[in-house]
């Protein structure tokens, strides 16, 4: 855990908060009540992240209209962005997973990694206050704005333009499932090209899942 604290640039006074943030529900369930999952921390972390990012954008971009602020915030806090943060931190190797989730590749599962980032941010907030959480968000998330990574990734438009190079091509997005409580829904979408599956994606909204499905489809077409 010390190596993770060094990456975060923050040392916990209560190490139990960090342990909790890294405990997936599969591990908590197997402990038969001895451990608490990181779901509550993830709920709190989602709000903290959204507030800090919104506050930053509002203060630093007085010229941007509400729509642009919303799209920029969404690009910074989406699952794909949080997974990139998790990978920078090497968060997967620190996760506490149940045996089934471990054998099923849970350490690399995007939704688990993204949730863990939010849970860690909440743990830092509870342990050291909003200033400490803000520093980490600035370092790992808001820095992407400076790098020009806040522009919404419109993979659906890119896919449409790609397939329209040939006439008669028909794209269709299908919601194939959803899971999780209301405050933490996961949507699963598949995109078909002329009736054949081309890509699948997940997201915290149907729109985000469609974007991820389009991204997967673009990658598939590039390999052909």
pLDDT tens for residues 6-23?
A: 999 999 999 999 999 999
Can you say how many angstroms the Cα of residue 23 is from the centroid of all Cα atoms in its chain? 17
DSSP of 156-206: HHHHHHHHTTSTT--EEEEEEEEES-GGG-EEEEEEEETTEEEEEEEESSH
224 assigned to active site = no
Under CATH, which architecture does the 2-146 domain have?
A: Orthogonal Bundle (1.10)
Q: Which of 6, 80, 84, 118 is flagged as catalytic? A: 118
**Which residues partner with 187 through β-bridges?**
178, 203
- C-alpha 9/C-alpha 150 separation (Å) is 24
* pLDDT tens column, 161-209: 888 888 888 999 999 999 888 777 889 999 999 999 999 999 888 888 8
Question: Pick the residue with more confidence: 53 or 71?
Answer: 53
CATH for 155-223, among 3.40.50.720, 3.30.160.20, 3.50.50.60, 3.20.20.60?
3.30.160.20
Q: What is the mean pLDDT of the chain?
A: 89
The pLDDT, as a whole number, for residue 149 is 46
* pLDDT tens column, 50-65: 999 999 999 988 887 8
Q: 115 a known binding residue? A: yes
**Residue 224 pLDDT exceeds 70:** no
19 assigned to active site = no
pTM of the predicted structure, to 2 decimals: 0.71
- 204 token code pair: 């915290």
- How sure is the predictor about 153, in pLDDT bands with cuts at 50, 70 and 90? low
Q: Which of 46, 101, 145, 210 is flagged as catalytic? A: 46
Q: Where are the domains positioned within the chain?
A: 2-146, 155-223
Q: 127 a known binding residue? A: no
């Amino acid at each position: 855990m010390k190596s993770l604290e060094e990456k975060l640039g923050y040392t916990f006074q209560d190490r139990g908060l960090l342990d909790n943030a890294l405990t997936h529900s599969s591990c908590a369930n197997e402990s038969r009540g001895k451990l608490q999952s990181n779901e509550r921390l993830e709920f709190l972390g989602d709000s903290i992240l959204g507030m800090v990012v919104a506050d930053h954008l509002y203060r630093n971009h007085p010229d941007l209209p509400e729509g642009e602020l919303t799209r920029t915030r969404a690009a910074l806090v989406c699952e794909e962005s949080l997974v990139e943060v998790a990978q920078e931190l090497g968060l997967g190797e620190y996760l506490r997973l149940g045996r089934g989730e471990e054998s099923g590749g849970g350490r690399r599962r995007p939704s688990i990694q993204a949730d863990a980032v939010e849970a860690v941010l909440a743990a830092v907030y509870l342990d050291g206050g909003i200033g400490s959480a803000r520093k980490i968000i600035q370092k790992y998330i808001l820095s992407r704005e400076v790098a020009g990574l806040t522009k919404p990734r419109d993979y659906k438009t890119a896919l449409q333009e790609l397939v329209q190079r040939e006439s008669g091509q028909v794209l269709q997005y299908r919601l194939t499932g959803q899971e999780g409580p209301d405050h933490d829904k996961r949507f699963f979408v598949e995109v078909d090209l002329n009736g054949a599956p081309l890509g699948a994606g997940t997201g915290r909204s149907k729109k985000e899942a469609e974007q991820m499905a389009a991204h997967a489809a673009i990658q598939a077409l590039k390999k052909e």
